[in-house]
Every structure is written in structure tokens, then in C-alpha cells.
Chains A and B, each alone.
Chain A
């Protein structure tokens, strides 16, 4: 049988920071328990014999899809269209929070 999963509250916080989501203390506790239960179930995948098996990232094996390097105006948003959903904008730009 696969080993029991161990996930600590610190790890939950680490995962949340990697994923850019903010969790309350309650959520940290809840997700910790749920993740343990879910990964306990998922751990059975380690029983599959995959030593010489190649990975599949795409199920229909299409490779090398190219297109002409041409501009298609119908697929390009005009500046005002691109900004149409922005919460904050100024002089034709998106306004973002300062990052430093």
C-alpha cells in the first residue's frame, strides 16, 4: 500500500503562496485535511509500472503546427477594446498595483 500522505499547515501556506491565493486560517486547516485525503487516494498511481513508459502530454499526437507569420487584423483587439474590461485604466494603459 502506498505511504500515507503528510501535508503540514506550513506546506498548505507554501502552496497557496505559489498559487497566489490568500487563505484564511480556517481554510488552511480545511484544505490541509482535504488535500491529505485526496492525495492518499491519488498515491495509488505510484503502483503503475511506468519505468520505460513515455509521457503523454497531448492525446492526439499532433506535432509541429505552424502558420504563416502574417498579421490578421480581425484577430487583434484595438487598444480601447483591450481596455474595455479593465477596472482601472489611465491614458490608454492598464493601471496595476505597485510591485515594489
Chain B
């Protein structure tokens, strides 16, 4: 049996039943990374020595019958997650030599649960991108078709989970950056409620929409990791105090009678027919399980992206001002093209004479968009829609035109504007065998409900059993 083909749940059971050791599990994953990473470029840093030494410790604990949520499990962290003693670049040459002195809160929690960091994954520098093409460390290739993008910005984590290089890949979702690679790589990706997971120690992109979570092979796996990382953190004033259940224990049970809203704005003429058909098929599965499909409208949808663009770029320009090359990192001249463009957009939106027209108008628009969602949730339980308007695209197909690239986020950014959680799950493939995702959105702190719907759908369809064929 190839240990890398396991899912998190099976790996935990195998470790507990001593079918294999954590050292074996880590070795097999590192072996696979070494074999395929030269081509796929999912990892910026591989932590072989540290991981193996932690695996030996985990095995000692397992021998003593110790239990822990992620004991002995390999996880790959997006390289904008700050890790003590491990270079954390955010895929920007500005931070090429940055060795953090502390761990992000989510890293502290993963470690406390027994997880083992096997490496740091590639991304669009600073999280700025939907395709993975804006990394200063090269493109990450989509394991399903090397000529196509993985989706971004959590490109490396999407590819690494999809290619069985890790059991868990973490990410940040500011405008879609976890759900987009999840959908393009046939894996499960969560954008949690804003503040569900602490932002402390996550290199900031847009502070009011940055949502911290992970990509996994299945829904159960995803729920287990959220149970570990979620919860209040005194180091992040925006982290919610709501209790954290064991999400993976809440997956069972019926979903019949649930009302699923289908927003017409997400199935318009801008949406590729294959993508729309695939989502309709997925919805039919849920209907057959007893869910009620309800047509709804979110009238401000067309403003959600431009509102997001202004808020995000404004916060980006503010957050990136801290990089002075004095205390850590390199000088500001090292910023890449995309970072500079967003800094310029944001600075313009905030500048005297324009702030009312752009920044403040967007904050007001944000209120209207939130109201749309709140109105909808009075009538329905969950919203279902595509993650992307189109299929995984080829390198350079959109990157040459920044606006065209930005508009990739039209279906994902609304949940970041509203703060609501959204879960992307595999929904099938195009005739050319390219992965397609569907996302389930719900009211704040409804992650348990989203997982339940997605789990039931996953049980029926099992798209996770389909795997890309890799070559070196």
C-alpha cells in the first residue's frame, strides 16, 4: 500500500493501529515531494530533517498510547504562515531571507495537536493572485494538467494535497485563495467565517477579509483540521469567541428538508456552460437526497467584486507599508509587479480627493452586499454556486491582463466581503478531465452545516477517489 494515497482519517487510524509509523508516513510523503516537486513546484521549502525528528517523537508518543487530533500527521503550510525558525517568504523576494522568531497561532495549535510540518508551500506573492502565476519562486503546475494553473493564491497547497504530497495543506482566503485552488485541483478547501481562525502570525494581505484555513482530500479531513485551528485568540482582536465543536463529529445526519439557494447571478452568461452544468448536476444529487432547491437573487452581486477590489487593495497598500527592509526582509524595491500594482490601486483609493469616491463608497457597498446575504438566509439555509466562472486555464492566458485576472474572483470574493464561510468541494470533471468545484456558503459560523451538506454530497459522489497521473 502506498502511504501517500491515504486520506487523513485513514492515516490517523493506521497510526493508532500501528499499521505503519509516523516516520514511515513522513518518509513516504517527503519521498513523493522529492520525486515530483522539481516539476510541480508546490514547495518553496522542504523540512526533511525537522519533520523526521518530530515523527520519531510522535512514534514514541503513539507507542505510549497518547492520543491527539493530528498526532504524527504531515502538514504543509502556505509560506505566508509564519513559522519559528523556518524561512517564511510569502513567495516574495522582499522576505527571501526572513526567519521568523515566532509561530502563528494556527501553527502553535497544529503543533500542539501533534501535526508535523513537512514544508512550506508556494503561493502568489503576498497572496496576490488567483492562479499561482505571481510567485517570485516560479509557477506551481496543476497536477491534472501541467500546462494549466492550479488556481491561487494557495497554489502550492492545492497542488500538494492533490498530488498526494501531504495530507493537509494550509492556506489563506482573502478573495478566494483557498477555494480557487481547491476547485481546480479536485480537493476540499474551506474559507471559514472571518475570525474563526486567528490571523496572528499570518502575513497580512487585506486584514478585514483575510480568512485562515486549509485544503484537504476529503470533508472529514477538513473538519478535523478546523477543530484544531479554530477559536479565540487574545493576540487577534477580530477572532470570534464562539465555541469550537469537534466539527468532524457533526457530519452525520440527514440533510433532507434543507433549503439550498441558487443565486441566478452566478449562473449567467459569464459562466462557462460546462461549469454551470456540473453545478446543476451536483445540485440534482442534493435534491435527490431531499434538499429543496430554491431560486434566489443577490442583487448587489455585480458590485461585490469592485467593492472587494477597492477594500482589498486599500488594505494591501496599508499592510505592505510596514516592509522597510530595516527590521527584517529586503528593501521595497524588491516588490514584484503585482504587489506594486495593488499598492498603487490601494493608495489611490485611499488618497485625498478619492477616498470618498472609492474607499468609503466601497465600505457602504459592503453593507449592502452583507444585507443581500442576510435577506437570503431568512429564506434558505445554504447557498450553492460555482467557485470559478470557467475551467482551469493555461499559463499566461489571463495573466497578461490584470483586470481579466482580477475578474477570476467574481464568485469567491463576495463571501470575503460578507465575512460568511464558504466551502469548495469537488463536483466532477470537464470532458477534458479538468476538475470543477462547487461552493456552499452559509451564515457566519455555519461551518458545521456546510460540512454536513458537503459530506453527504461527497458520500454520494466520491470525486476524491479520482487522482491525477503525475510524471517527473
Contact = CB atoms under 8 A, between A and B. Distances in A.
A34 B402 contact: yes
Contacts of B238: 58, 60, 62, 65
A22 B364 CA distance: 33
A20 B321 contact: yes
Interface string A18-29: 111111000100
B321 A53 contact: no
B109 interface: no
Contact of B208 (A7, A54, A59, A87): A59
Interface stretch (B62-70, B274-282, B303-311): B303-311
Interface residues of B, number: 61
B321 A50 contact: no
Contacts of A77: 101-102
B101 A57 contact: no
B367 A38 contact: no
Nearest to A68: B234
Contact of A59 (B328, B341, B419): B419
A67 B235 CA distance: 9
B172 interface: no
Contacts of A16: 344
A21 B403 contact: no
A71 interface: no
A84 to B, nearest CB: 6
Contact of B344 (A12, A46, A82): A12
B38 interface: no
Interface in B263-277: none
B123 to A, nearest CB: 20
16 contacts: A11-B348, A18-B351, A19-B343, A22-B333, A42-B310, A48-B303, A48-B365, A50-B361, A50-B365, A56-B366, A58-B208, A85-B328, A85-B329, A87-B325, A94-B326, A96-B326
